[in-house]
């Protein structure tokens, strides 16, 4: 749902297919490569051996980063990464089911939270390409009278403002009982999520800056429904999930609490409290801002197709990739329309990220075809150890977020 510091606040701080290979193995492989070179081995063979060394070194670094993430308090970690060699590899660490004491399943299902927003944005941009929607048209054109607040209305807020979080609409998660330390059980409609937010003043005048608000994507989901005359989940399924043949990805019905197996269980807790299984929650509290369930491999495939130009036409993808800064949000990141550009230690990554009850996901794809998704099965606010003050808890939670982003960076750059 919401991101970075906002995500922390919603946690009430404020509001194995491969075994690890040792460095001895790396050294031995290097020795084989050197000996082969001295013996006059073919250049292609030497290059292939060197590439294999690179893969092993990357795996060692990645597994270390994953272990550090578990030590930080996250029960389990899933990673799927496609490297420079074009091969996809899956990794796990920690515990995927605390009750059973079992490891996470490779490429298991998880709730992907706000990555859903990119699915929704891509659907809207398809409608723009088809001429059914205009990016710079007021939302009131399509949803007359729906967006009305004390100091704003839908006649001034455009579709672009919604997708780019520049509308100023207050975030409904501040006013709906969406606390991330409990297990949601109520089924909400889009209108029930939107209405409480619209009773409050704008966070800022429309278009003046960017501030992440889940409300924007509740409205975007309503827009899709109005234009396509289909439920937003059905429209996104047809236009994105089925089009890309993402067989392990789905948009659950409101009230459907199930997550398909194999899955990594998700856990919630108040700061410093006991972790509780929240896997089977009612996802409607996140609406079009965070409903989708997927796997790391499928999420990689989705972002690769999007950035590769096979999902949204070039002109509309260009609009999605136009970025603005937002200093109070994720560090080393600039923001487009449902798409983020993240600076890594070795280049840039296009993705989004998502937090929802019991799960946090980070990752994306590079322009040269590398892919990574990292999923953990608790939010940082659920595993904080510092509880002396609000400041200490927030700092602790941010440090735990950084553990996850370090896994992302290591998977791509090590």
Q: Which residues are catalytic?
A: 114
Alpha-carbon distance of 224 to 122, in angstroms, equals: 11
Identify any residues that bridge with 90 across adjacent strands, giving them in sequence order. 80
C-alpha distances (whole Å) from 264 to each of 17, 260, 300 are 16, 10, 17
Alpha helices (runs of H) in 241-365, residue ranges in sequence order: 296-307, 314-320
Element (H, E) at 375: strand 371-376
SS3 label, residue 361? strand
Alpha-carbon distance of 189 to 255, in angstroms, equals: 10
Contact 260, 293 (CB under 8 A): yes
Alpha-carbon distance of 14 to 174, in angstroms, equals: 11
Closest to 111 (Cα-Cα) out of 357, 315, 335, 332: 357
Closest to 283 (Cα-Cα) out of 256, 248, 250, 249: 256
Residue owning tokens 């060394």: 53
By residue count, the chain amounts to 414
DSSP assignment of 286-314: TGGGT--EE-HHHHHHHHHHHHTTSSS-H
Residue owning tokens 């409904």: 172
Closest to 84 (Cα-Cα) out of 370, 366, 413, 374: 370
Alpha-carbon distance of 224 to 289, in angstroms, equals: 13
Alpha-carbon distance of 196 to 152, in angstroms, equals: 15
Phi then psi dihedrals of residue 111, to 5 deg: -80, 130
Contact 135, 160 (CB under 8 A): yes
């Amino acid at each position: 749902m919401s991101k970075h510091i906002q995500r922390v606040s919603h946690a009430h701080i404020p509001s194995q297919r491969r075994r690890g290979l040792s460095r001895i193995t790396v050294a031995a492989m290097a020795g084989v490569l050197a000996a082969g070179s001295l013996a006059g081995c073919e250049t292609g063979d030497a290059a292939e051996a060197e590439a294999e060394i690179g893969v092993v070194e990357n795996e060692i670094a990645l597994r270390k980063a994953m272990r550090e993430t578990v030590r930080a308090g996250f029960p389990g970690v899933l990673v799927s990464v496609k490297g420079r060699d074009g091969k996809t590899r899956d990794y796990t660490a920690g515990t995927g089911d605390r009750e059973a004491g079992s490891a996470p399943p490779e490429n298991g299902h998880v709730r992907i939270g706000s990555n859903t927003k990119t699915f929704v944005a891509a659907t809207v941009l398809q409608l723009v390409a088809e001429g059914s929607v205009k990016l710079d048209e007021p939302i009131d054109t399509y949803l007359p009278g729906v967006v009305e607040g004390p100091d704003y209305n839908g006649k001034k807020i455009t579709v672009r403002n919604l997708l780019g979080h520049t509308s100023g609409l207050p975030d409904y998660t501040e006013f709906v009982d969406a606390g991330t330390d409990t297990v949601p059980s109520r089924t909400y409609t889009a209108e029930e999520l939107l209405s409480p937010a619209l009773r409050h003043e704008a966070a800022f005048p429309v278009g003046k800056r960017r501030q992440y608000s889940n409300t924007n994507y509740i409205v975007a989901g309503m827009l899709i429904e109005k234009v396509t005359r289909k439920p937003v989940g059905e429209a996104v399924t047809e236009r994105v999930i089925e089009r890309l043949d993402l067989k392990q990805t789905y948009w659950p019905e409101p009230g459907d609490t199930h997550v398909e197996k194999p899955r990594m269980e998700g856990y919630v807790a108040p700061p410093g409290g006991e972790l509780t299984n929240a896997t089977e929650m009612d996802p409607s509290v996140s609406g079009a801002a965070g409903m989708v369930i997927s796997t790391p491999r499928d999420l990689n495939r989705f972002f690769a197709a999007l950035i590769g130009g096979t999902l949204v036409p070039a002109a509309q993808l260009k609009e999605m990739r136009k970025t603005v800064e937002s200093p109070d949000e994720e560090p080393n990141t600039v923001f487009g329309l449902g798409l983020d550009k993240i600076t890594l230690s070795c280049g840039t990554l296009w993705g989004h990220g998502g937090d929802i009850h019991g799960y946090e996901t980070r990752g994306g794809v590079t322009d040269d075809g590398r892919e990574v998704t990292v999923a953990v099965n608790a939010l940082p606010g659920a595993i904080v150890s510092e509880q002396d003050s609000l400041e200490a808890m927030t700092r602790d939670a941010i440090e735990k977020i950084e553990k996850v982003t370090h896994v992302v960076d290591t998977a791509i750059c090590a």
